[in-house]
Amino acid sequence: MALVIGVLASAAQAQHPQLERLNQQLFDLYRSGRYAEGIPVASEALRVAEQVYGAEHATVAESLNNLGELYRMLGRFEDARPLYERALRMTESTSGPENILSAAIVNNLGEMYRLQGAYDKAEPLYRRAIAIRERLLGLEHADLAQPLNNLGLLKAAANKPQEAEPLYQRALAIYRRAVGEEDPLVAATMSNLAELYRAQQRYALARPLYEKALAIAEKKLGPDSPTVAMSLNNQALLHMAENKPRDAERLLQRALAIQEKAYGRDTAASFTTLENLATLYHDQGRYRDAEPLWRRVVAIGENAYGTDNPALAPALEQLAEASQKLGREEEAARFQERARRLGRGR
């Protein structure tokens, strides 16, 4: 798991006292990872913005983006997409195609597509966000690092590490200069770079980055922050690669507990941690521990991506194998057949 850096719009134009209060409440919930609690607040902010400023005002576009961002963070992509698209059309019609708000929206829309595996749709959106921010903010502005980091995530997921590494390094350098060494944004990008090194088996480079990223996140955000959970998950992957299953299990269980406390049980936020913990148990032959986790992974994937998404095939294959090992032959056969059918779409 890598750390995604999304953005809420600043709502800088909002002057209405009620809207300012709602936006501040929303930012506080977003920063603490309480996305579900933010939905009614963002919805009310959108209603107030439309009432105060009219349906086509830039502040309404900001509120649309913010509500879309919360849905994206919860894995509710079909709810997020029309909000992003409406916000983008609105800000382009009022302020032209290149403005700060449109850069935020296209970055977030790109994140949504990346999470769905639609890399061909995500990449041009990231590149557009980068180009706009370079032109409007300059080459060293902290906000430029955000789409650079996210494009790095895409390149890493597409198995293009040589393209991902310079993107992460450039983002990390910008953040260090802009916000200092011990900032959560530095930790997030540092963790992503470490994850890239781990995937390349460059463990000596990955380990100190993981450790420093976790230390920063715990110090700045607290031990129960969702960002800490992501760092724990990533460090657990290193332990798995180094054949330290007990250390990996301890970190993954702690990460899962944090995510479930923050978001609730079986949400998209815990998908990757559950998948990693299931894999750990599976590889150890602990099928009774692995099988219920694979079921949860499949259920979360179905809710987030749809029941016919080819991305479900690997988890279904693992669930089929675990079920077979536990003597559930008929059920295993059904899972395997479904995995084959979905796999043909990959």
pLDDT at 9: 57
Size of the chain, expressed as the number of residues it contains? 346
pLDDT at 227: 86
Q: Tens digit of pLDDT for each residue in 230-276?
A: 899 999 999 999 999 999 999 999 999 999 998 888 887 899 999 99
Give the mean model confidence (pLDDT) for residues 221-226: 91
- Record the pTM: 0.78
Domains of the chain by start residue, with CATH:
1-131 (1.25.40.10), 138-219 (1.25.40.10), 256-346 (1.25.40.10)
Give the mean model confidence (pLDDT) for residues 81-85: 97
CA nearest to 84, candidates 99, 100, 104, 114: 104
**pLDDT of 116 above 70:** yes
Instruction: Name which of 10-24, 66-80, 160-174, 318-332 the model is least confident about.
Output: 10-24
Other Cβ atoms within 10 Å of 337 Cβ, number:
12
**Torsional sign, CA 76, 323, 250, 210:** negative
Quickly count helices (H) and strands (E) in the chain: 16, 0
> Exposure string (b/e) for 205-230, b if CB count within 10 Å is 16 or more?
ebbebbebbbebbbebbeebbbbbbb
**pLDDT of 226 above 90:** no
**pLDDT of 118 above 60:** yes
**pLDDT of 124 above 90:** yes
Q: Tens digit of pLDDT for each residue in 167-206?
A: 999 999 999 999 999 999 999 999 999 999 999 999 999 9
Mean pLDDT of the chain: 91
pLDDT at 73: 85
Residue 200, SS3 per DSSP: coil
Q: What percent of the chain has pLDDT over 90?
A: 77
Taking the C-alpha atoms of residue 64 and residue 40, their distance in angstroms, rounded to an integer, is 13
pLDDT band, residue 212 (cuts 50/70/90): very high
